[in-house]
């Protein structure tokens, strides 16, 4: 999943990650949600240290 460049820095990715987290919780939860971040993408590294 990715966010088009013109919509970046508007909280779209954060909202998508939060929606995924809520979905996992509603289905019985998991011990962890794993995320792969493409480090060359500008702004991608910010999501490596986000606690949900």
pLDDT surpasses 70 at 8: yes
pLDDT surpasses 70 at 2: yes
Torsion of CA 32, 38, 46, 33, to 10 degrees: -10
11: region left, alpha or beta (phi > 0 left; psi from -120 to 50 alpha): left
At 51 the pLDDT is 60
Residue 3 pLDDT level (bands cut at 50, 70, 90): confident
Query: Long-range CB contacts (< 8 A, 24+ apart) of 10-13?
Result: 13/47
> Which of the 8 DSSP states describes residue 31?
S
Distance CA 14, CA 3 (A): 10
């Amino acid at each position: 999943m990715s966010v088009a460049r013109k919509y970046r820095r508007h909280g779209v990715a954060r909202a998508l990650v939060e929606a995924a987290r809520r979905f996992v919780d509603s289905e019985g939860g998991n011990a962890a949600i794993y995320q792969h971040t493409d480090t060359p993408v500008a702004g991608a590294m910010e999501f490596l240290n986000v606690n949900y």
